[in-house]
Structure 1
Amino acid sequence: MQTTYPRFSVSAVSRLAPTLLTIFALAAGAATLSASAQTPPPNSSPAPALSGDAERDQRFARWISDFSNSARAAGISEATLQSAFDNIRFIPRVVELDSAQPEFTRAVWDYLDSAVSAQRIVRGQDMLLQARPAVDAAAARYGVPAETLAAIWGMESNYGSNTGDIPTIDALATLAFEGRREAWARTQLLAALKILQNRDVERAQLVGSWAGAMGQTQFLPTNFLAYAVDADGDGRRDIWGSLPDVMASTANFLAKAGWQAGQPWGLEVRLPPGFDYALADAEVRRPASAWTDLGVKSMDGAPLPALADSAILLPAGARGPAFLVGPNFRTVLRYNNSTSYALAIGLLAQGLAGGPAVQAAWPRDLQPLSRSQLLALQTALNSRGFDSGTPDGTMGPATRRGIRLYQRSVGLPADGYPTLELLQRMQ
């Protein structure tokens, strides 16, 4: 059975705030009240208490009214507010998804198996042929390779086939009202209202993911305002239906984020025997020539590309493949701050261009730590004096440093990679 949610008019909420209790009693299924029945006679039974959903909807309506006042002060017109909020609805599923903290993490090789599958590469090559005029125009204008743009297109929406269907205004209002990320969601919601006010898209077409990302390459509203481009010249920035706008907007984002034209994202490399794995750190950056001097080589023996500020990446620790990554890899992290994501974009772009897949074997026998196991590892590290920051079950630079310090103390390769064996050893 399809569940429907009450819709609220911001203008009505503003005018009828004193009678919200009556309105939401009706929404909860109370009998229709006549004008005389709105004030019960002395001997009548008290009005039934509001249900949990009705009470929440009442608070949501008040929140929308209050936010509308802030939006007016920020320059949002009454017409835009009515368009955005006259049929606003609270979406419980958005809160559920936002609150979900998966206990088990996904191994990088499992992620890449899906993200850079042979099927996605073949489909991407076909879609790239179909979209060539738009992609090539954006690549030439902004200096970002066509294959990189196509890789982001493929990762974010499966080449435009899955852009999301949740109303962006409703999703962001729900997140802001719920409060876990209120400040962030309020900023994004105000940006979404500005998009409506600019007439780039109509309310019905302003849809995307549950978290507010929109269009074929999933821009947040603030990024849309900052980077979206009207490349087809129709007066609107349409990242939902116009491929020229989609590709130009994505390329503009990367260019403004620091993409360096003519440089690769990175490449798979071989590390020499006795390599100091503590050097495999995002903060240890050197020219490619310095890595060559240490014995780092490309997989085919060709000279390393002239990457400045390059780093060694070991996404699966010392037993897995190694990559030399440069400034453009870090630029992709600006799009999505996930090492696995940035690596997937680089490898997918490489595959779309006919390049090789990862050649070294992944350590598929290793089991990624769950959040609770990583929390236990962080706690154990701290208790032994290897500072890993505040235990939170999330891998970060502090935890990696703590692991390296412990590994070094017991004569293990200091790759900073958390494993079940490491946890058991510490316990």
Structure 2
Amino acid sequence: MRFPLAALAVALSATASQAAVPCGGSFSGFVKKMKQEAVARGHAPSTVDSFFRTVRQDLETIAADRRQGVFQLPFLDFSQRLISQNRIQRGRQMEQKWDDVFERIEAEYGVPRGVLLAFWAFETDYGAVQGDFNTVNSLMTLAHDCRRPDLFRPQVFSAIELYEQGGLDPASTTGAWAGEIGMVQMLPGDIIESGVDADGDGAVRLKTSPPDALTSGAKMLRHLGWRPNEPWLQEVEVPAEMDWAQTGLDTKKTASDWLEMGVRPRSGSLQRPDLPASLLLPQGHEGPAFLAYPNFDVYFEWNESFVYVMTAAYFATRLEGAPVYDAGDPEPGLNERQMIRLQETLKARGYDVGGVDGILGEMTRKAVQAEQERLGLPADAWPTPSLLERL
């Protein structure tokens, strides 16, 4: 699912007379104020009335937003759940079926087919499961909810613009619970910015046209910073001993520098020795290891979950021919209750863990790594029950 990090900047682009509608309060009052702001932004009153005529609050959207326990799984469990042999086989079939589309995409945008196939698989199972939430209802519900209103308010106004263009029906357009539409799940603002009529039928149809959906996804990735003809992730082997505190997204060295430190590609050679890369250990120094190149950072513009990003990037390499990872033998991690206890402990010590939610995100990893280093433990950012007891 695509959560744009620039949403707040878009929300603040309105003039002073178009002050942001506050979240919360009665939903009907919120709708009234959003309609007023839409008119102030230049939309015709009749269009605004028509757009909001069928809108209603959707409590199932709120429930789905709060129900994201799958992201609490560690990388090995999460990736093994999402990457099935059937998904790999379907990916091969889709690659062959739409080979000419992928060739055009790779030539024009420089986004490899494996990257798009992985998103297509994870987001909608190659278009089979696109979601049945009313898009406008979901966006308005999440904009009204006070957990992340600045993320979703701009998407409501983008949806109005999409409606004006004929690309959305407020009463019937459906998609994911967070307002994404189509085979690769794009938000209204992304569709306006990156939607492509790749099949030449005169319309951008992301729900029914694989060429439109895949090409639009590629254009969006380029807009987000994808660098053509560069790798994104490569599995490596690490030495038994090294300064584990240098691992993680914040530390970047050229791939050749990592080679000098004893890091070796698990198969083949370094894809780009000259590029900066981070050494990532999703389950510590005894689990799988990867070099993450600059394109890996673009994944976080698509989804902010570390475990999702790792899995999507890894699956893309599999679809491009990489072998199954070496799972290693990592120490057991923490269950949800233990992770919450860890986050509470780290927060009490002054760390910003990005919320006590039981999910091992990047901010929690940074805090864990700092404490491991302080305690003289391998600072690989992988929290274990023994670390929790030490803390």
- The two structures share one fold, judged by TM-score above 0.5: yes
**Equivalent residues of 1:176, 1:186 under 8 A apart:** yes
**Greater alpha carbon shift after TM alignment, 143-152 vs 233-242:** 233-242
CA distance in 2, matches of 1:158, 1:360: 25
Change (3 A) 1:101 1:249: closer
Q: How does 1:124-203 map to 2 (within 5 A)?
A: 124-203=91-170
CA distance in 1, matches of 2:188, 2:279: 34
Q: Which of 230, 248, 254 is 2:215 aligned to? A: 248
Q: Deviations over 1:25-50 (max 9, x none)?
A: xxxxxxxxxxxxxxxxxxxxxxxxxx
CA distance in 1, matches of 2:259, 2:299: 25
CA apart distance, 1:228? 1.6
CA distance in 2, matches of 1:359, 1:314: 12
CA distance in 2, matches of 1:356, 1:288: 20
CA apart distance, 1:358? 0.5
Residue 352 of structure 1 is matched in structure 2 by 319
Q: Which of 352, 364, 372 is 1:389 aligned to? A: 352
CA RMSD of aligned residues (A): 2.4
Report whether the alignment pairs 1:415 with 2:385.
no
CA apart distance, 1:291? 0.8
Q: Which of 316, 321, 342 is 1:377 aligned to? A: 342
SS in 2 for 1:310: strand
CA distance in 1, matches of 2:148, 2:137: 15
CA apart distance, 1:146? 1.4
**Greater alpha carbon shift after TM alignment, 324-333 vs 84-93:** 84-93
Q: Deviations over 1:69-124 (max 9, x none)?
A: 11111122234324322222221211222244649821211110022221210111
**Equivalent residues of 2:333, 2:382 under 8 A apart:** no
Q: Which of 20, 42, 47 is 1:75 aligned to? A: 42
Could you list the runs of 5+ residues in structure 2 that have no partner in the other structure?
Answer: 1-24
CA apart distance, 1:284? 0.7
CA distance in 2, matches of 1:199, 1:379: 48
Could you list the runs of 5+ residues in structure 1 that have no partner in the other structure?
Answer: 1-57
Aligned residues: 365
CA distance in 2, matches of 1:253, 1:413: 39
The one-letter amino acid paired with 1:415 is D
Identity in percent? 32
- TM score, norm. by length of structure 1: 0.79
The one-letter amino acid paired with 1:272 is P
CA apart distance, 1:240? 1.3
Change (3 A) 1:110 1:345: same
Structure with higher RCO (Cα < 8 A, 6+ apart)? 2
CA distance in 2, matches of 1:66, 1:255: 35
CA distance in 2, matches of 1:103, 1:255: 28
CA apart distance, 1:414? 1.0
Residue 110 of structure 1 is matched in structure 2 by 77
- TM score, norm. by length of structure 2: 0.85
SS in 1 for 2:291: strand
The one-letter amino acid paired with 1:403 is V
**Greater alpha carbon shift after TM alignment, 83-92 vs 198-207:** 198-207
CA apart distance, 1:213? 1.2
CA distance in 2, matches of 1:301, 1:142: 26
The one-letter amino acid paired with 1:413 is P
Residue 25 of structure 1 is matched in structure 2 by none
